[in-house]
Amino acid sequence: MHLKLSFDRLNKCVSCLLSHMAYPQLCCVGVLDMHPHRFSSLPQDYTATIYLRQRWTDPRLVFHGNKSFTLDARLVELLWVPDTYIVESKRSFLHDVTVGNRLIRLFSNGTILYALRITTTVACNMDLSKYPMDTQTCRLQLESWGYDENDVIFTWLRGNDSVHGIEKLQLSQYTVERYYTLVSKSQQETGSYPRLILQFELRRNILYFILETYVPSTLLVMLSWVSFWITLDSVPARTCIGVTTVLSMTTLMIGSRSSLSKTSCFIKAIDVYLGICFSFIFGALVEYAVAHYSSSQKCAAKAPQEGPANELTKEMEEVNITNILNSSIASYKRKISFTSIEISSDNVNCSDLTMKTHEKIKYVLRKKMHRIIGYFTIQNPSNVDHYSKLLFPLFFMLVNVFYWAYYLYF
């Protein structure tokens, strides 16, 4: 009878509790049973089912005895309840199969236990620069919507022990490193509102990516080194290996990005590694092009040179540029007073000498140019493959050491 009268009074004045209290109402989150079941990198959010249990004391509901009563969930409309909402929630819903998943339990001292089962999708800002070796920090924030700190106070009943379920979380891509609870407040234009924060850190499981991406890309790089043991004359074999590994690596790079949105333009750790592997594979293909070109040039240089050009070269080697110039000028001065026929004949001779002089100068310049180019010419093309057998694996190992050390420990 006393309980019925209490509800009758509540029905007449549902929201008068705070106005009759000289101090803020204390609302405790006794147990937050959280079961995340999906984390998404893009869009950056997670979905979890939450069993939210809140406690507060309403002195108007005190009754005699030491028993507690479980009330019909429909009576929540007759009670004062904190206006708790989930910050940064994209979508949420209260389960109602087969009935609304709500529990109201009333204790003799006026304490009310209010439990809800909610599924929510909450935004979580993720830094994917170290993907897939990244560690993400996500939050679940509970805040009062309309009551500020002068009206209600939020707190965790048992600190970190108030959170259950997350320590047993098992996901395909993540492992929970640690979690902790915080009590904070949100400063808005309309006042300061109490806020409870559950912060948890997740480390991505890298084993899947090692088997899916890192091992195949490393094997493709090693496959490209097989061409170093094939002779330079085997053009189809070496070209086939180079082109096949390049195309396979390109396909692997495209596949690694298919799991993320096409609009993600930031560079991730896995992109860096695939870029390194692609560079080594492409470098092996370029190495063969350089070695084959040098070998062709060396064979062409050994071929005998025949024809008038060769005879002209031998003849020009016997002529001294200085003597030709001096003799042509002296001869021209001595014969300047001769007859027009003789002058004409001398002009022809002088023209021939001048032409030979120009050809000699061109030959000397060309010879010096070939000598300069010779410094950068590979004298023994077979050494290119010999050095590549050692340098390519060595540099690839060094790059891997720096790569894994940076992304795992820095």
User: What's the CATH number where 87 sits?
Assistant: 2.70.170.10
Instruction: Assess whether 134 and 158 both reside in one domain.
Output: yes
Instruction: Assess whether 150 and 232 both reside in one domain.
Output: no
Backbone angles phi, psi at 113, to 5 degrees: -105, 120
Instruction: Assess whether 201 and 212 both reside in one domain.
Output: no
| Residue that is written with structure tokens 């405790």 in the block | 28
Question: Of 205, 233, 248, which residue is a domain's last?
Answer: 205
User: What's the CATH number where 275 sits?
Assistant: 1.20.58.390
**Per-residue model confidence (pLDDT) at position 302:** 62
Low-confidence ranges of the chain (pLDDT < 70): 1-23, 259, 261-265, 298, 300-358, 364, 367-379, 381
Instruction: Assess whether 128 and 216 both reside in one domain.
Output: no
Asked if 17 and 61 count as a contact pair (C-beta separation under 8 A), the reply is no
Asked if 246 and 281 count as a contact pair (C-beta separation under 8 A), the reply is yes
Instruction: Assess whether 85 and 31 both reside in one domain.
Output: yes
User: Structural domain tally of the chain?
Assistant: 3
Instruction: Assess whether 363 and 231 both reside in one domain.
Output: no
**Per-residue model confidence (pLDDT) at position 341:** 44
Instruction: Assess whether 225 and 259 both reside in one domain.
Output: yes
How, if at all, do strands 102-106 and 135-144 pair? unpaired
Domain region containing 199? 2-205
**Nearest CA to 240 among 190, 296, 285?**
285
Q: State the Cα–Cα distance between residues 173 and 408, nearest whole angstrom.
A: 17
Instruction: Assess whether 13 and 58 both reside in one domain.
Output: yes
Write out the H or E segment, with its range, that includes residue 120.
strand 111-123
Question: Of 152, 187, 205, which residue is a domain's last?
Answer: 205
Instruction: Assess whether 213 and 246 both reside in one domain.
Output: yes
Instruction: Assess whether 199 and 264 both reside in one domain.
Output: no
Instruction: Assess whether 173 and 226 both reside in one domain.
Output: no
- pTM for this model (two decimals): 0.74
Instruction: Assess whether 145 and 280 both reside in one domain.
Output: no
Question: Of 189, 205, 221, which residue is a domain's last?
Answer: 205
